[in-house]
Structure 1
Amino acid sequence: MSEHPRTDLNNLLQAIYGPGALDHVRWEVFSQGPPSCLTWFATIYIDDMNHGYAQARTRGAAQDSAAYQAYNHLRRERRR
């Protein structure tokens, strides 16, 4: 896996689903806390199943961590 988990996940999803890959993905991203100390939460659903959840100090970091989890989960599933 490279330093770009969302790109890696997108590439894997394209390999699995083809051009309609984004139709299978849904993100829920939100923040909580005071503006000076936000915590970002990101959950990624693939075919309405939770494949990754993370929290971080930035939106991108939360999404990257959730994408990394989803990527690893899909790779394990494909090996079976």
Structure 2
Amino acid sequence: MSNDDHPRTDLNNELQRVYGPFVSHHVRWEVYSRGPANALTWYATVYINDMNYGTASSHNKSGAQDDAARQARDNWRRERSNQ
């Protein structure tokens, strides 16, 4: 199973390397749904140090969170490699 199968875990592991046990002080999620109960769309945004690193939507909560985490992880890696 690749890390891409668990983007939230992968993002957390990467951030743990930098922030250690204080990851929760640096990461914030916004997750909400909109639409009729039979056709909800879920939205998720990941903020790292109050900067938006990933935003996604899906027809299920987990999908939105995974896609946002994948974006955040990729953006975090890209930013770190340029330092």
Do Structure 1 and Structure 2 share a fold, with TM-score over 0.5?
A: yes
TM bucket normalised to smaller: over 0.9
Structure 1 position 2, deviation (Å)? 2.9
Pick from 12, 20, 23 the counterpart of residue 21 of structure 1. 23
Pick from 49, 55, 63 the counterpart of residue 47 of structure 1. 49
Structure 1 position 74, deviation (Å)? 0.7
Q: Matches of 1:65 and 1:39 in 2, distance apart?
A: 14
Q: Matches of 1:61 and 1:41 in 2, distance apart?
A: 9
Partner of 1:72: 74
CA-atom RMSD in angstroms:
0.8
Structure 1 unaligned regions, length at least 5? none
Q: Residue deviations 1:21-64, cap 9 Å, x none?
A: 11101111110011000000001100000000000000110000
User: How many residues align structurally?
Assistant: 80
TM, length-normalised to structure 2 = 0.93
Partner of 1:5: 7
Query: Identity rate of aligned residues, in percent?
Result: 56
Runs of 4 or more above 3 Å deviation: none
Whether the aligned pair in 1 keeps the contact of 2:4 and 2:70 (CA below 8 Å) is no
